[in-house]
Homo-oligomer: A and B are copies of this chain.
Amino acid sequence: MPRLVECVPNVSEGRRGDVIDRLADAIRAVEGVRLLDRTSDVDHNRSVFTYAGEPDAVVRATHALVDLAFREVDMRTHKGEHPRLGAVDVVPFIPLAGVSMGECVDLAHRFGREVAERHQVPVYFYAKAAMRPERVRLPDIRKPEYEGLAALLESTHDPDAGPRRLHATAGAIVVGARPFLIAFNIELDSTDLKLAQRIAKEIRESSGGLPAVQARGFMLTDPPRVQVSMNLLDHTTTSLETVWREVETRANAAGVRVLRGELIGLLPLDAALQVTAGALKLDGFTRDRVIESHFLE
């Protein structure tokens, strides 16, 4: 059984193509790591790298990325719309296969302490790796931004690792562990925005619906149709199969057909197989029943 961890660092550089290419190359150069996606936004002046591999290899790749980003990005002159605390703004470790959340929390703590030591940079732990309840949510930590952080390092923003002193060019870094997030939309054969909004409200956790589900109703154009747009924050708690069924049941009850699903980005194998197992009502259908799973590195 291969052990796979994903890491999705956000780097405060979205404009200089040559620098972004070299950041991607630094990740790719680490054996056993696959760069799965990279996206850059000029307005946000920010790039997101998605890669995965065996835990130690992912930590090596993340050090390589941080080393290079710290050399290339100077927060004293950085401008961009997206809130950020540093050159490498946030580093989440995500369990994909054969690795527990606890191991990813340990990985985040180990990596964060290594970075703090190596670069003398303040480090905050967030999400499942948070060491204080007020540091679970990323926006709460990120609120003062780079420009306001220096003044708070002795008070509310006392770091979890590293010095109580801002790294002049790299700022600070937020490191954590969280479940894989699946972005999934369901399109309805309807233009009734209120229906999509009602379904979204009924199924999302914040209104007492399904655990680990965020949902909103949207209107699409061309052709005009409504969509229930969701984030599944933990597919082992609430699966794609479950949200599909819950949305379909409610749409059908209102006399509306479900037209199609749309997955944004990549999916862990186990999340896809959950759907297979649910659709065919299979007991105990796990990845070892899939031939290719025996050929994973």
Contact = CB atoms under 8 A, between A and B. Distances in A.
Interface of A: 2, 4, 6, 34, 36, 52-53, 96-97, 184, 240-241, 244, 258-263, 266-269, 272-273, 275-276, 278-283, 285, 289-297
A280 B275 contact: yes
Contact of A292 (B4, B260, B275, B279): B4
Contacts of A281: 258-261
Contacts of A296: 292, 295-297
Contacts of A262: 282-283
Given A258-B281, A282-B261, A34 B268 contact: no
6 contacts: A244-B280, A258-B281, A261-B280, A275-B280, A292-B296, A295-B296
Nearest to A297: B295
A27 to B, nearest CB: 13
A281 B263 CA distance: 10
Nearest to A282: B261
Contact of A244 (B53, B261, B269, B279): B279
- Helix, strand, loop or mixed for chain A's interface? mixed
A50 to B, nearest CB: 9
Given A4-B291, A266-B290, A295-B296, A276 B272 contact: yes
A236 to B, nearest CB: 15
B269 A36 contact: no
A268 B295 contact: no
A231 B16 CA distance: 56
Contacts of A276: 272-273, 275-276, 279
B268 A291 contact: yes
A56 B295 CA distance: 16
Contact of A34 (B275, B279, B295): B295
A280 B243 CA distance: 10
A101 B283 CA distance: 32
A57 B128 CA distance: 44
Contact of A293 (B6, B97, B285, B292): B292
Contacts of A241: 279
